[in-house]
Amino acid sequence: MSLSLSNKTILVVEDDADTREVLRFALELAGAGVVAVASVDAALETYRHSPPHAVIADIRLGRSDGYALIKAIRETDVEYRGFTPVLAVTGFASPDDEDRAIAAGFSAYITKPFDPAQVVTMIARLLSCSGDLAA
């Protein structure tokens, strides 16, 4: 089954340039438009001015972290947008880390190293569940 993310914009928030480019490439190959940024500040600026259909974010992001990002996204969603699927892609791999991420508001959780196809599949599934991806 070929997954298409055509006409969907995905915001990738990852401070590691190589990982950011792997995610960008995999998502673009599936047809998505991708905005890739390296910081929480850049992500929030993008999110507020050009809201994406979904977000993929690392949890450890330099001076800030994905928890600050998800908190701001969920506050913005409540005020303006509804619900945006947000996938955590992180090196934090314990069951407690996953529970914390989901409790904080992430929609799903994938650990590094990851298979890029798994990320595309998960984003497509999240968009489908949110009603934002036609079958």
CATH of the domain at 48: 3.40.50.2300
Range of the domain at 107: 9-128
Q: Is residue 93 part of a domain?
A: yes
Q: Is residue 4 part of a domain?
A: no
Q: What residue spans of 9-109 are helical by DSSP H?
A: 17-29, 40-49, 66-76, 95-104
Q: How high is the pLDDT of residue 76?
A: 87
Q: How high is the pLDDT of residue 24?
A: 98
75/73 Cα distance (integer angstroms): 5
Q: Is residue 118 part of a domain?
A: yes
Q: How high is the pLDDT of residue 64?
A: 83
Indicate left, alpha or beta for 8 from its phi (over 0: left) and psi (-120 to 50: alpha).
beta
Q: Is residue 73 part of a domain?
A: yes
- The answer to whether 127 touches 34, Cβ cutoff 8 Å, is no
Closest to 11 in 3D by CA, of 22, 112, 32, 2: 32
Residues of the chain falling short of pLDDT 50? 1, 134-135
Q: How many domains does the chain have?
A: 1
